[in-house]
Amino acid sequence: MRVPPVFVWDDPPMDLPHDLAELLEAAKTASRIAYCPYSKFHVGAAIRAGGHIFTGANVENASYGLTVCAERTAAFAAVLAGYVKIDAVAVACVDAPDGCDTGLLMPCGACRQVLAEFAAPDTPVVVDRVGILTMAELLPHAFKLK
């Protein structure tokens, strides 16, 4: 099923706003430091918060379930630097083949819930080769305690 992003990817994506293009580049660069000896699937994420860019990459574990995704390492970097309000997110699954199903490019459910903790419903999330979605499009009806 194709998601309905507010911006649909073009090849090349000519009209991606500059700040989001910069964030996406940071996500792609961060994917290089992923620790993914098991899946060999490098993922990078970048988060703009407090005027800074925080990056993350997936860190796998021999006990597979302990793996932490790129989006979460990036979100935790921002939060641990003192920024709990996320202004924009970019994610790049650089090893996914061109023309693959969008499912291979999208943030997983756990990461959506973690991002929703710190993002507003209209916070843009750039998904490489998919488009820009809002946080609420990515995770409608997020669980919230506040």
Residues annotated as catalytic are: 71
Residue of 129, 128, 94, 116 whose CA lies nearest to 23: 128
Q: How far is the CB of 18 from ligand THU (least distance, A)?
A: 25
Backbone angles phi, psi at 27, to 5 degrees: -65, -45
CB of 107 or CB of 131, closer to ligand THU: 107
Q: How far is the CB of 141 from ligand THU (least distance, A)?
A: 19
7: number of Cβ within 10 Å: 17
Q: How far is the CB of 66 from ligand THU (least distance, A)?
A: 11
Residue of 143, 140, 145, 20 whose CA lies nearest to 88: 20
CB of 87 or CB of 128, closer to ligand THU: 128
CB of 53 or CB of 106, closer to ligand THU: 106
Is 119 exposed, middle or buried (CB count within 10 Å of its CB: 0-12, 13-18, 19+)?
A: buried
Distance CA(143)–CA(20), nearest Å, equals 27
The footprint of ligand THU (CB under 6 A) covers: 36, 39, 41, 43, 58, 60, 67, 69-71, 107-108, 111
CB of 53 or CB of 127, closer to ligand THU: 127
Q: How far is the CB of 31 from ligand THU (least distance, A)?
A: 9
89 within 8 A of 123, measured Cβ to Cβ: yes
